[in-house]
Amino acid sequence: MILIADGGSTKADWILLDKYGVQVFKTRTEGLNPEILSESLMTSRIQENKELLDCKNQVTEVYFYGAGCGTEKLSLLLKAVFESFFVNAKVVVREDTYAAVYAVTTKPGIVCILGTGSNSSYFDGEKVETRIPSLGYILMDEASGNYFGKKLILDYFYNRMPSNLAKHFETQFDLDADVIKKNIYKNENPNAYLAKFVEFILRNERNDYFNEVLRKGMTEFFENRILTYPEAKSLPVHFVGSIAYFAQDAIKHVANLNNIEIGNIVRRPIDGLIEYHREQLKLEQI
């Protein structure tokens, strides 16, 4: 049996396929980002899932595509966690950019991730190349969930958010300064915590303020993560992730200003991963 996972900082989606590529189950765990989580916490998050626990001895292959897996040290850390749990399986851990590519294209292009975090890569049709490494939610992650979450919090405390929206913001979130600081500086998953605030934009009717926030964030992302690729002017730019999916209008607005062709925009890459691995199974059986 083959276990495939698309993992972010907030959550990880898992699919189990039998040897014929038929889906056995689909499940979800909390995020498994080795950049921000301890080995023990990642292990406990896997062990708490009943579906994974029940099949762990039957799984023969694990393919995990995840945030925070872009360096050898961190990918090996997560690989060791999986190998200790799925004791009979071959384990492959790859950066989430590969999952994004497999979900949107088989041809050359620029592939971007806009979820809890953000990233971009160049795909030449065979290999994935990330020319600018991600330095995480504190220094980078433009136009991501945590980026917009920080923007909303700052605008609220600096009184830059329109007063009617600020009152509504207060009813949806605990804005006590001590609570915010505790979640950012002491608790696990500060980036995922920050990303929750972007729901204020995504779940409410659009207005001038929301549009401005989204467009400014997308402008930064394009300038730093897309226009730095010379190929972006001649190849389509694809997007994966919940922020990309819900903010398509802002993406297309900034793309038009820069004469960039937008390709596919997919909310969750897991479906594309399933098809990719089904094709690999077919090739192995030929």
| pLDDT at residue 51, rounded to an integer | 96
Q: How many CA atoms lie within 13 A of 263 on its CB side?
A: 21
| pLDDT at residue 53, rounded to an integer | 95
Contacts of 52 (CB under 8 A, 6+ apart): 3, 14, 27, 29, 46, 85
On whether the CB atoms of residues 239 and 222 are closer than 8 A, the answer is no
Q: Quick one: 225 and 153 in the same domain? A: yes
Per-residue pLDDT tens digits of the chain, which is 286 residues long: 999 999 888 889 999 999 888 999 999 999 999 988 889 999 999 999 999 999 999 999 999 999 888 788 999 999 999 999 999 999 999 988 888 998 899 899 999 999 999 999 999 998 999 888 888 889 999 999 999 999 999 999 999 999 999 999 999 999 999 999 999 999 988 999 999 999 999 989 999 999 999 999 999 999 999 999 999 999 999 999 999 999 999 999 999 999 999 999 999 888 788 888 888 887 676 6
The string of DSSP letters for 22-71 reads -EEEEEEEE---TTTS-HHHHHHHHHT-HHHHHHTTT--EEEEEETT--S
Q: Quick one: 112 and 240 in the same domain? A: yes
Q: Quick one: 223 and 137 in the same domain? A: yes
DSSP lists the bridge partners of residue 109 as 123
Q: Quick one: 111 and 88 in the same domain? A: no
Instruction: Tell me how far apart the alpha carbons of residues 139 and 119 are, in angstroms, rounded to a whole number.
Output: 12
> What is the domain count for the chain?
2
| pLDDT at residue 188, rounded to an integer | 83
Q: Are strands 11-17 and 2-7 parallel, antiparallel or unpaired?
A: antiparallel
Q: Quick one: 30 and 151 in the same domain? A: no
| pLDDT at residue 283, rounded to an integer | 67
Return the ∠ at Cα 100 (arms to 254 and 138), rounded to 5°.
Answer: 65
Q: Quick one: 93 and 129 in the same domain? A: no
Phi, psi (5° rounding) for residue 63?
A: -120, 110
Q: Quick one: 94 and 123 in the same domain? A: no
Domain that holds residue 18: 2-100+269-285
| pLDDT at residue 160, rounded to an integer | 97
CATH code for position 225: 3.30.420.40
On whether the CB atoms of residues 31 and 8 are closer than 8 A, the answer is yes
Closest CA to 117 of 94, 142, 96: 142
| pLDDT at residue 230, rounded to an integer | 95
On whether the CB atoms of residues 97 and 121 are closer than 8 A, the answer is yes
Closest CA to 144 of 192, 96, 207: 192
Q: Quick one: 12 and 58 in the same domain? A: yes
Q: Quick one: 239 and 197 in the same domain? A: yes
CB atoms within 10 A of CB 27: 16
Contacts of 181 (CB under 8 A, 6+ apart): none
